[in-house]
C-alpha cells in the first residue's frame, strides 16, 4: 500500500511563502492498494492536484472516495477535481458513519447551482453511492477491508482503517479530539485498539499544549496526545496531519524535531513524520 499526501492543512488553505515546504492545501490523501485500487481520503483543496495527476496517468478505473465529514476543508476541492468532468470516470462515494439514508451529502450541497454553477446531474462522470452497511461491519474495496469508527468532533467525523490483502494497514483519523471536554464518541483506549499495529497512522495534530485550554472542544488533538496514542497503539509510522493554519514551515520544523525526540526516547521502532504535500509513504506489510 502507498499513501501520498496532496493536502495536509486543517481548517482553511494557507498559500504563501511561509508554508511552501509543508504546503497550504487542505485535507486530501491518495491511497493505492496492493491490487492498484485507488482510494481518495477527503476532498479538500489538495484534491485539485490529485485530479491533474490522475488525468495525466489516464486512470479509468473507479475512484473510491472516503470523506471523513463535510466541513469545508474536507470537501471544497470536489468541484475542482478534473476527473469528475469526464464521462469515463466512476466515483464511488462510500458512506460516512453519521449519515442516515436521508442525509444530504457533500456533493449535493456543493453542486446545488448556488455554491457552484453546475448541478449534480450536469456532471458527465458517474457517481455511485453504496448503501451504508451497519456501522461496525467492515466492507471490501478492491484488495482491502475497510472499517470505520466515530470520532470526537463537533458535528461528527469518521475514522477509517484500511487493511490490505498484503498485510499492510493504514488508519486515517481526522478531525478528532482525543480528550474532549464533554461527552465523547470514542475513548483513547478504544481508538488505540482500533488502530493497533497499523503500518501507518495519520492523525489530526493541529494543536500544541499551549493552545489549550482556549481551543478545548474545537474538535482537534495536540501533538503530544497523538504521540501517546501512537505509542500505545504500537503503530509503525505516525504522520502528524491537519496542521493549524497559523503554523508556518519553521513552526512545523520545530514540531518535527520535538516529535522525533519523543519517538526516539519513548517508542524506538518506526518513525514519526510531519505530513507534507507531495510526501509519499510506502506502507510495508506488518
Ligand atoms: Zn478539518
Ligand atoms: Zn472538521
Residues 132-181 have pLDDT tens digits of 777 778 999 999 999 999 999 999 999 999 999 999 999 999 999 999 99
Angstrom distance (rounded) from CA 248 to CA 257: 15
Residue 170 placed within a domain: yes
Residue 285 lies in a domain: no
Residues of the chain with pLDDT under 70: 97-108
According to the model, what pLDDT value does residue 97 have? Answer: 65
Domain count for the chain: 1
The answer to whether the CB of 58 falls within 8 A of the CB of 71 is no
Structural domain range at position 66: 2-280
- Nearest ligand for residue 219 CA: 2
Would residue 121 count as lying in a domain?
yes
CA 87 / ligand 2 centre spacing (Å): 31
pLDDT of residue 101: 40
> Which pLDDT score, from 0 to 100, does residue 102 have?
39
The C-alpha angle 106, 107, 108, rounded to 5 degrees, equals 95
Give pLDDT, residue 103.
46
- The reply to whether 71 falls in a domain is yes
Judge whether 286 lies within some domain: no
85 contacts 117 by C-beta, under 8 angstroms: no
Q: Cell 476527473 identifies what position? A: 83
How far, in Å, from the CA of 88 to the mean position of ligand 1?
30
Question: How far, in Å, is the centroid of ligand 1 from the Cα of 166?
Answer: 31
Q: Does 167 map to a domain?
A: yes
Specify whether the CB–CB gap between 87 and 93 falls below 8 A: no
pLDDT reported for residue 100: 46
The b/e string for 66-104 (b: 16+ C-beta within 10 A; e otherwise) is: bbbbbbebbbbbbbbbbbbeeeebebbbbbbbbbeeeee
Name residue 241's beta-bridge partners. Answer: 204
**Residue 265: how many other CB atoms lie within 10 Å:** 8
Q: Which residues surround ligand 2, an ion (CB under 5 A)?
A: 71, 175
- The residue to which cell 477509517 is assigned: 160
pLDDT at 99: 57
Q: What is residue 134's predicted lDDT score, i.e. its pLDDT?
A: 79
The CATH number linked to 25 is 3.60.15.10
Amino acid at each position: 500500500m502507498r499513501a501520498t499526501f496532496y493536502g495536509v492543512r486543517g481548517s482553511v488553505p494557507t498559500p504563501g511563502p511561509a508554508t511552501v515546504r509543508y504546503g497550504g492545501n487542505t485535507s486530501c490523501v491518495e491511497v493505492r492498494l496492493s491490487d492498484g485500487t485507488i482510494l481518495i481520503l477527503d476532498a479538500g483543496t489538495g484534491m485539485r492536484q490529485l485530479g491533474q495527476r490522475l488525468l495525466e496517468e489516464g486512470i479509468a478505473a473507479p475512484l473510491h472516495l472516503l470523506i471523513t465529514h463535510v466541513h469545508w476543508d474536507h470537501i471544497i476541492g470536489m468541484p475542482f477535481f478534473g476527473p469528475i468532468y469526464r464521462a469515463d470516470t466512476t466515483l464511488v462515494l462510500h458512506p460516512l458513519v453519521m449519515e442516515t439514508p436521508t442525509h444530504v451529502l457533500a456533493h449535493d450541497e456543493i453542486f446545488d447551482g448556488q455554491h457552484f454553477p453546475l448541478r449534480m446531474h450536469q456532471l458527465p462522470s458517474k457517481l455511485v453511492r453504496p448503501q451504508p452497511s451497519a456501522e461496525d461491519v467492515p466492507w471490501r474495496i478492491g484488495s482491502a477491508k475497510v472499517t470505520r469508527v466515530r470520532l470526537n468532533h463537533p458535528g461528527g467525523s469518521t475514522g477509517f482503517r484500511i487493511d490490505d490483502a498484503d498485510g499492510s494497514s493504514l488508519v486515517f483519523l481526522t478531525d478528532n479530539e482525543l480528550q474532549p471536554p464533554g461527552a465523547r464518541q470514542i475513548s483513547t483506549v478504544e481508538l488505540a485498539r482500533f488502530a493497533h499495529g497499523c503500518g501507518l497512522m495519520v492523525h489530526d495534530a493541529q494543536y500544541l499544549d499551549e493552545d489549550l485550554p482556549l481551543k478545548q472542544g474545537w474538535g482537534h488533538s495536540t501533538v503530544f496526545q497523538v504521540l501517546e496514542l501512537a505509542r500505545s497503539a504500537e503503530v509503525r509510522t505516525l504522520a502528524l496531519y491537519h496542521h493549524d493554519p497559523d503554523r508556518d514551515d519553521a513552526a512545523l520544523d520545530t514540531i518535527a524535531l520535538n516529535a522525533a525526540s519523543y519517538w526516539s526516547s519513548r517508542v524506538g521502532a518506526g518513525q514519526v513524520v510531519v505530513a507534507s504535500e507531495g510526501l509519499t509513504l510506502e506502507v510495508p506489510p506488518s
